[in-house]
Structure 1
Amino acid sequence: MNQSTTHFAPNTVKITQGTKRDAPPVISVTAMAGVSEMVRQAFGEKVLRQAKQAAMLDIEMIEHHDCFIPQATMTGFLKEVERRAGEPHIGLLVAPHLSLTRYGRWGEYVLASDTLRTAIARALATLGYHSTGDRMETSVDRGVARLSYFNAARGWPGYVHVACGTAGVMLSLFRSYLPSNWLPRHVELDIPRPRSASFFEEAFSCPVVFDASAVSICFDARLLNGPATRHPSTRLVTIEDVARSRMGPASLDNFRGVVIAQIWAQVLSGEGSIDSTARALDTSVRSLQRALSHDGTDFRELVNVVRVQRAKELLEGTQASITEISNELGYSAPANFARAFRKATGAAPQDFRRKPTGPITRQHLPM
């Protein structure tokens, strides 16, 4: 029996106020993490500089930030590297060095899964936090599973390199959960068959099929049910973390919104200090308190709101213990965390976790 599941990437990025439905597809710039350095090492600073100029964007400067670029910028950059370096296999050179571990919060969220099956499910369900216009699909037929990625940039100049890079990233997902000597049955690429397939088969260490409908990794379906050989991530990461990093706070155009963004950063590192917040905002503690009072709130209230929101996310989105969550949020003892949580929500952390939850949704920062 053939079983298939398809997920379309929702258009989660607001490009401009009045964006039309035909807005160009975008992708997280983290998809290019490490590519510029590889180009520099392989072809020199001059080729990299020329490619940046052609793309009209210094991708290297922002590649570790959770922001978005047009997919045309990505393909254009790679095409220019090919032209300047005279190397038709840029994608194959880059593919082995690409990894989901460099994909920011979204990559962390996917790789925080306990099993390969769950990681794939997370990737499919939340692809819209990584790109728009793309979609992913899984299918199983007679014991062979297929994970497919349909790129919005297919057919564009330079896309052959994107297709190879996509395969490389997908393989990195599998290798995060499977033995180091694992190899796929074969890889499918949605590009025309080249004169020689040997370069591709050497790069992916398996047979490669061309002229496919998508970039696909084909593998033994039994691997979906097996335990992970190693756990790729020990961080507590929820879908709200991804939403926050990829969409940004609800508002950064006012002082309160900036303060809340700073508090979130502190809470995520287990802290929450008015002194460090004032220092980060280049103001005094007194001035900070006055500004917040003018907005009808105070620092302690905002910290409590952010901590409670974060606690809810961890209780609903992870299997972390109450003690682990308490430590994560910077409380001196689990009892103090439980007391503060009950005061804010009217429920003990254990009781809140038992409540039924709905589907994954993006939540706004408290404003």
Structure 2
Amino acid sequence: MISVTALARVPALVRHSFGETVLRQANRAAMLDIELIEDRDCFIPHATMCDFLSEIERRTKEEHIGLMVAPYLTFEAYGCWGDYVLAGDTLGDAIRRAASTIGFHSCGEAIALSVEEGMARFAYFSAARRSPAYLHIAAGAAGVMLDLCRSFAPPGWHPVRIELDIARPRAALSFEETFGCPVVFDAPAVAIWFRASLLGVRRPLSSRRRLMTVDDLARARLDPASRGDLIGVVSAQVWTQVLAGTVSLDAAAHALALSTRTLQRVLQVHGTDFRSLGNVIRAKRATELLRGTNATVTDIASELGYSAPANFARAFRKATGLAPEEFRRGLKRSAL
């Protein structure tokens, strides 16, 4: 699982470069509207991200999607995790924050920082390395890592070199032109090499972030431990679907590389089923919207993917014992 913010800005860049039709086809391949949720603190399987990128490549014949978008990707777009990392006092502190909290952004990945003879190595190990779409992911990751370094570095800074854990492509020179430094391929990880003195550089006062602790991050994002079992993974996927407005058993099974029958059987073993799990998560989101917004019941029903307000009201009453209007009136009375 990985935060959908890993794809932040990519849909808009795809639309600008290749058109609305290609973006729509990529969303269909991912079975999720990525643009609708790209700024939300929710998670998608790595496979969904790979399906999205692979479909763009298939439709456009562009071999280097990741390299094309790399200069436009920023750490700031990574939501609350990006905010937490950028709140570090120095670049070294920011990288160490990223390394110690990577679980709040993705599962099965790692970040490392080492110093050798006055040179710093900032490395990223991706869980999607075996994916056919990894060429795009590696280039994009290098772009985001460079952006983090440049958030602290002086104007005009360039790294000593970049290492990528992909085979050397035919268009290797275009990587050096994009990143502005030598690029080494067939490396053990994506890594940025730079002079270690940069680790102690503080971020310019004009771009300082608000104070943020790991507790703030934990409250904003799902605890990594809860994504370590299948129910946690399925729940995270359903939550993402709820935010996107369409809850689908087929889409969840596809994202998790399971057949629908297998997913249903596993959920039954855990004493639930997909419909019940979806209703619980929809009800939770509905209570948040009823409590925290002035949206009408009709708008909330539409936001949650119900075909009619009556269907939403029926499901909400079954989950909470109250109609949506009764729930909201109760909140108003308790506030008096």
Normalising by structure 1, we get a TM-score of 0.63
- AA aligned opposite 1:91: G
The match for 1:46 is 21
Conservation of the 8 A alpha-carbon contact between 1:143 and 1:220: yes
1:288 pairs with 2:263: no
The match for 2:34 is 59
Of 206, 210, 214 in structure 1, the residue corresponding to residue 181 of structure 2 is 206
Cα displacement string for residues 13-55 of structure 1 (whole angstroms, at most 9, x for unaligned residues): xxxxxxxxxxxxx110011111011001101111111111111
The match for 1:217 is 192
Greater helix share, 1 or 2? Answer: 2
User: How big is the alpha-carbon RMSD for the aligned residues of Structure 1 and Structure 2?
Assistant: 2.8
1:158 pairs with 2:126: no
List alignment gaps of at least 5 residues for structure 1. 1-25, 264-280, 293-298, 301-367
SS in 2 for 1:125: helix
SS in 2 for 1:157: coil
Question: In 1, Cα distance between the equivalents of 2:154 and 2:86?
Answer: 16
SS in 1 for 2:221: helix
The match for 2:105 is 130
Cα distance, 1:149 vs. partner?
A: 0.3
TM-aligned CA distance change 1:51 to 1:289, over 3 Å: closer
Question: In 2, Cα distance between the equivalents of 1:220 and 1:83?
Answer: 39
Question: In 1, Cα distance between the equivalents of 2:77 and 2:19?
Answer: 23
Conservation of the 8 A alpha-carbon contact between 1:177 and 1:232: no
Cα displacement string for residues 249-290 of structure 1 (whole angstroms, at most 9, x for unaligned residues): x997679x8599859xxxxxxxxxxxxxxxxx8668862266
The match for 1:173 is 148
- AA aligned opposite 1:162: I
TM-aligned CA distance change 1:40 to 1:241, over 3 Å: same
- AA aligned opposite 2:65: I
Question: In 1, Cα distance between the equivalents of 2:178 and 2:284?
Answer: 50
Matching of residues 342-357 of structure 1 within 5 Å? none
- AA aligned opposite 1:102: A
Conservation of the 8 A alpha-carbon contact between 1:76 and 1:157: no
Cα distance, 1:138 vs. partner?
A: 1.0
Conservation of the 8 A alpha-carbon contact between 2:290 and 2:328: no
Question: In 1, Cα distance between the equivalents of 2:161 and 2:95?
Answer: 18
TM-aligned CA distance change 1:122 to 1:231, over 3 Å: farther
The match for 1:97 is 72
Cα distance, 1:213 vs. partner?
A: 0.6
Question: In 1, Cα distance between the equivalents of 2:115 and 2:71?
Answer: 26
1:109 pairs with 2:84: yes
List alignment gaps of at least 5 residues for structure 2. 227-279, 294-323
Of 196, 204, 207 in structure 2, the residue corresponding to residue 232 of structure 1 is 207
The match for 2:116 is 141
The match for 1:74 is 49
> Between Structure 1 and Structure 2, how many residues are aligned?
250
Cα displacement string for residues 159-216 of structure 1 (whole angstroms, at most 9, x for unaligned residues): 1000000001101101111112000000000000112311100110000000011100
TM-aligned CA distance change 1:286 to 1:226, over 3 Å: closer
Matching of residues 290-329 of structure 1 within 5 Å? none
Q: Over alpha carbons, which structure has the higher Rg? A: 1
SS in 2 for 1:126: helix
SS in 2 for 1:247: coil
Conservation of the 8 A alpha-carbon contact between 1:177 and 1:229: yes
Cα displacement string for residues 51-94 of structure 1 (whole angstroms, at most 9, x for unaligned residues): 11111111111101000000111112111101101111111111
Question: In 2, Cα distance between the equivalents of 1:118 and 1:262?
Answer: 35
- AA aligned opposite 2:110: R
SS in 1 for 2:112: strand
- AA aligned opposite 2:42: C
Question: In 1, Cα distance between the equivalents of 2:289 and 2:27?
Answer: 34
Cα displacement string for residues 126-178 of structure 1 (whole angstroms, at most 9, x for unaligned residues): 11000001011111111111010000000211110000000011011011111
Normalising by structure 2, we get a TM-score of 0.68
Matching of residues 27-42 of structure 1 within 5 Å? 27-42=2-17
Question: In 1, Cα distance between the equivalents of 2:327 and 2:141?
Answer: 48
- AA aligned opposite 2:24: R
TM-aligned CA distance change 1:195 to 1:282, over 3 Å: same
- AA aligned opposite 2:70: A
